[in-house]
């Protein structure tokens, strides 16, 4: 059932993005006077579809749902009747060819901007960007960031939400330099701090989110570290923890609240931890090894199967904020966010190629499907946000100057525009073969990463 729901979530999110990407190619081709033969969602054998009696276009859904294509009349792919040669793609001006090829990625950019626009216009109550906790032995602790001050910018870029802060920090992944954080105190006085990072989010930090790696967290409720429930087959139950026990220390680190305990447990999968608990007023020593689990992105975390007793959480008013923008401001912010994430995506690709960050950060269709499923479990806003991020990634990926991808074809047509004639078919085919090998290599690596995250 989980597999089926994951598959359906992936189809629901990816299907429209692929269809609209191909529709971009399709509609611009028709506007440019090129005859379209096939509009397909997916590759391989035809599963379903119909042929238009008016245009003769074969609209189809194909068996392999890893993309799609628009097949156009082209003399390089078969004989074309003399009276239709003016409708062939290869006969068009290079600028028309570029417009047709670029229309798919541009459509994905438009989708991302549109979805972000809707999200920015939706009022949401969020945690204010006041620092609730600074983790020890982190860049934030080294810079002595004060708890309670409001974060207003990262590296000179204004931030208004914790999501924005996380994105700005994630963009510095793999780098060795100072990260500047501008804070605003309660008296509105602003001060900029400089936190040194060394290969940020690498080594021991790999798999953590950017906020935890940097060491500054939003406000979190203070929940007494008292066990309220145990999973029968969990490590805690098997190794002697009982309902009502109060955790006072783990590996000699004093525990004052439940979140501190869970953070240590999550960061130490398959590692024996020494617990000190207070049971009926007396200290009890226990050795518990958290079971190793994987989250939806394949990152390892520890779990012992112990839950806190349910209680109502009240967020202090000064740690709450309502974020809402008008239509115009939302549109501006959606363009800004799209630009920021596109630059961050390209930068991350460059860092992977240069070795600044590991190739294991590359994700494939399995991870995308799992993230899509997770977004449905959270909220409709998360579904739209996930769709926007995937659409943006598709746009950036397709614009890479690799033959086979749209970006590679654009390079070919730009060369044709400059030379006044296209490259020879032999050169183009050699480039396409190299592009296929590169793309196949990336796909094997991405799917391999997906499988390693599963197991």
> Could you say which of 22, 125, 175, 312 is catalytic?
22
pLDDT class for 354, splitting at 50, 70, 90? confident
- Mean pLDDT is lowest, of 171-185, 240-254, 300-314, for 300-314
- Number of C-beta neighbours around residue 203 at 10 A: 8
Q: H-type helices in 74-203, by residue range?
A: 94-121, 139-142, 162-170
The mean-pLDDT minimum among 100-109, 231-240, 316-325 falls in 316-325
Q: Do domains 124-219+315-323 and 227-309 have the same CATH topology?
A: yes
- pLDDT at residue 273 is higher than 60: yes
- Higher pLDDT: 377 or 51? It is 51
Structure confidence at residue 298 as a pLDDT band (50, 70, 90): low
In the predicted model, what is the mean pLDDT of the chain? 90
State the average pLDDT over residues 60-88.
91
pLDDT band at 275 (very low <50, low <70, confident <90, very high): very high
Burial 235-265 (b: 16+ CB within 10 A, else e): bbbbeebeeebebbbbeeeebebbbbbbbbb
Q: Are 199 and 176 in contact (CB under 8 A)?
A: yes
pLDDT(25) > 70: yes
Residue pair 144/129 in contact (Cβ under 8 Å)? The answer is no
Please tell me the predicted confidence (pLDDT) of residue 349: 86
The model's pTM is 0.78
What percent of the chain has a predicted confidence (pLDDT) above 90? 61
pLDDT band of 372, cuts 50, 70, 90: confident
454 Rama class: left (phi>0) / alpha (psi -120 to 50) / beta: alpha
Mean pLDDT of 412-436: 91
Report d(CA 431, CA 124) in Å as an integer: 49
Provide DSSP, 73-105: --GGGS---GGGGGGSGGGS-HHHHHHHHHHHH
Q: What percent of the chain has pLDDT over 70?
A: 97
Q: Where would I find the beta strands (DSSP E) of 175-257?
A: 177-184, 190-197, 216-217, 227-230, 246-250, 253-254
Nearest to residue 138, comparing CAs of 202, 195, 194?
195
| Residue-level pLDDT at 203 | 64
Average pLDDT over residues 310-339: 86
Q: What is the pLDDT of residue 67?
A: 85
Supply the pLDDT for residue 324.
84
Instruction: Say how far apart CA 13 and CA 108 lie, in whole Å.
Output: 13
Rounded-to-integer distance, Cα 444 and Cα 5, Å: 25
pLDDT digits (tens, 9 = 90+) for 80-138: 999 999 999 999 999 999 999 999 999 999 999 999 999 999 988 888 999 998 988 89
CATH class of domain segment(s) 124-219+315-323: mainly beta
Q: Phi/psi at 141 (nearest 5 deg)?
A: -70, -40
**What pLDDT shows up at residue 383?**
92
Q: What is the pLDDT of residue 155?
A: 95
Report which of residues 263 and 300 the model is more confident about. Answer: 263
Rounded to whole angstroms, how far apart are CA atoms 179 and 307? 36
Highest mean pLDDT, choosing among 108-112, 373-377, 433-437: 108-112
**What pLDDT is recorded for position 206?**
54
The DSSP symbol for 130 reads: B
User: Which three-class secondary structure state does DSSP give residue 42?
Assistant: strand
Please spell the DSSP secondary structure of 289-344, one letter per residue. Answer: -PEEEE-TT--EEEE--EEEPP------GGGEEEE---HHHHHHHHHHHHHHHHHH
Where exactly are the structural domains of the chain? 2-33+92-121+383-454, 124-219+315-323, 227-309
Q: What pLDDT is attached to residue 361?
A: 74
Q: Has residue 207 got a pLDDT over 60?
A: no
CATH class of 227-309: mainly beta
- With bands split at pLDDT 50, 70 and 90, how would you rate the model's confidence at 455? low
Q: Supply the pLDDT for residue 296.
A: 59
What integer pLDDT is reported at residue 183 of this predicted model?
Answer: 96
Q: Is 22 a catalytic residue?
A: yes
């Amino acid at each position: 059932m989980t597999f089926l729901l994951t598959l359906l979530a992936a189809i629901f999110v990816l299907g429209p993005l692929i269809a609209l990407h191909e529709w971009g190619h399709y509609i611009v081709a028709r506007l440019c006077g090129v005859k379209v033969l096939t509009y397909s969602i997916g590759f391989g054998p035809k599963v379903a579809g119909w042929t238009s009696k008016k245009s003769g276009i074969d609209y189809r859904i194909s068996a392999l749902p890893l993309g799609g294509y628009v097949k156009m009349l082209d003399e390089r792919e078969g004989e074309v009747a003399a009276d239709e040669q003016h409708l062939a793609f290869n006969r068009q001006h290079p600028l028309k060819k570029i417009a047709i090829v670029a229309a798919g990625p541009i459509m994905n950019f438009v989708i991302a901007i549109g979805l972000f626009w809707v999200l920015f216009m939706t009022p949401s109550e969020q945690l204010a960007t006041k620092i609730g906790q600074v983790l020890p032995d982190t860049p934030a602790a080294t810079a002595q960031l004060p708890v309670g001050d409001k974060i207003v910018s990262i590296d000179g870029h204004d931030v208004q939400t914790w999501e924005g802060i996380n994105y700005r920090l994630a963009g510095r992944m793999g780098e060795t330099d100072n990260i500047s954080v501008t804070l605003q105190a309660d008296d509105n006085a602003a001060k900029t701090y400089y936190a040194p990072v060394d290969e940020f989010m690498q080594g021991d930090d790999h798999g953590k989110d950017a906020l935890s790696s940097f060491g500054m967290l939003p406000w979190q409720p203070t929940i007494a570290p008292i066990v309220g429930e145990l999973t029968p087959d969990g490590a805690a139950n098997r190794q002697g923890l009982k309902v009502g026990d109060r955790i006072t220390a783990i590996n000699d680190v004093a525990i004052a609240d439940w979140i501190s305990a869970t953070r240590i447990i999550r960061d130490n999968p398959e590692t024996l931890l020494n617990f000190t608990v207070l049971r009926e007023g007396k200290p009890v020593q226990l050795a518990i090894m958290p079971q190793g689990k994987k989250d939806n992105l394949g990152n390892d975390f520890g779990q012992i199967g112990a839950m806190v007793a349910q209680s109502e959480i009240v967020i202090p008013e000064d740690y709450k904020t309502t974020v809402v923008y008008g239509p115009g401001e939302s549109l501006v912010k959606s363009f800004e966010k799209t630009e920021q994430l596109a630059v961050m995506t390209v930068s991350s690709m460059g860092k992977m190629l240069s070795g600044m960050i590991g190739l294991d950060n590359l994700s494939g269709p399995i991870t995308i499907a799992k993230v899509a499923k997770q977004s449905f479990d959270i909220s409709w806003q998360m579904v739209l946000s996930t769709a926007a991020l995937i659409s943006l990634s598709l746009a950036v990926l397709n614009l890479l100057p690799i033959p086979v991808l749209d970006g590679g074809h654009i390079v070919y047509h730009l060369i044709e525009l400059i030379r006044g004639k296209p490259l020879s078919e032999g050169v183009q085919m050699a480039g396409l073969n190299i592009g296929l090998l590169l793309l196949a290599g990336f796909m094997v690596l991405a799917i391999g990463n997906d499988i390693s995250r599963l197991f």
